[in-house]
Amino acid sequence: MRLNKFLSNSGVASRRKCDEIIAEGKVFVNGKQVTELGFKVNEKKDKVMVEGKVIKLPSSFVYIKLNKPKGYACTAHDEKGRKTIYDLIDCDERLFSVGRLDYDTEGLIILTNDGDFANKVAHPKYEMEKEYRVTCEGDIKESELAVMRKGVVVDGTRMPSAKVEKLSYENGFTKLSVVINEGQNRQVRRMFEAIGHDIKLLKRVRIGDVRLGGISRGEYRDLTEEELNSLVRN
């Protein structure tokens, strides 16, 4: 098994991030440092360590959906000492998030120790839709919606197009549905910044066919078999 796949399947990180960890010289196999990205290991015999910790394949896979509140970081250890989503999860397995939500964004996030599954859901080439509910200041004009649908230009670069639907305008605030399938860093926030509207609430409500519904802020549950299969099929 390729080393990056072994690390990813063991819940260390996404396969792309595992490549970075290997290149940085943080991985040792049978006591020897390995920086070769194509290196292969025998998962039954070899002893693999990352930063002094022995890494093993999980005995079973875990798939969780969490309603992330605002004020939590999507990282195992936050350098600023802030609360993280792992403070909300009671699980003995080493989990990592499938995609991220920034500190001030709430809503649906999936956590797992299955690296292949995570790669399938998170990788841009699979074009997994992600739907957000946005509340922003001001009345969004149709011309502004058209700009976001086409793809706003930020620092001279056009961002990916998005499906944008205006849901309501009331008391000075517009509510919208925004669907994207690439998930660039802070993509939704940057879209609204580009047209001059401040986001007051940003919440992810769907990944693929899996919806947030019915889970309170800070709560989580296992994905159902139907939800899991829907993500694998996409």
Let me know whether 82 and 104 are in one domain.
yes
Let me know whether 113 and 221 are in one domain.
yes
Let me know whether 120 and 228 are in one domain.
yes
In a domain, 92, yes or no: yes
Q: Report the distance separating Cα 181 and Cα 124, nearest Å.
A: 7
Which residues are designated catalytic? 102
Banded model confidence at residue 117, pLDDT cuts 50, 70, 90? confident
pLDDT of residue 149 exceeding 90, the answer is yes
What pLDDT digit, counting tens, does each position of 61-94 carry?
Answer: 899 999 999 999 988 887 888 999 999 999 888 8
Instruction: Report the pLDDT value the prediction gives residue 183, as an integer from 0 to 100.
Output: 65
Let me know whether 98 and 46 are in one domain.
no
DSSP code of residue 219: -
List, in order, residues 6 or more apart from 123 with CB less than 8 Å away: none
The more confidently predicted of residues 16 and 55 is 55
Print the SS3 string covering 130-194.
Answer: EEEEEEEECCCCHHHHHHHHHCCEECCEECCCCEEEEEEEECCEEEEEEEECCCCCCHHHHHHHH
Q: Which domain holds residue 171?
A: 129-207
CATH of the domain at 160: 3.30.70.1560
* Count: domains in the chain: 3
In a domain, 114, yes or no: yes
Let me know whether 101 and 134 are in one domain.
no
Let me know whether 135 and 203 are in one domain.
yes
Q: Which of 197, 191, 213, 182 is nearest to 136 (CA)?
A: 197
* Span 20-31, average pLDDT: 94
Q: Are 175 and 133 in contact (CB under 8 A)?
A: yes
Of the ranges 56-60, 96-100, 104-108, which is most confident?
104-108
Let me know whether 134 and 200 are in one domain.
yes
Let me know whether 139 and 202 are in one domain.
yes
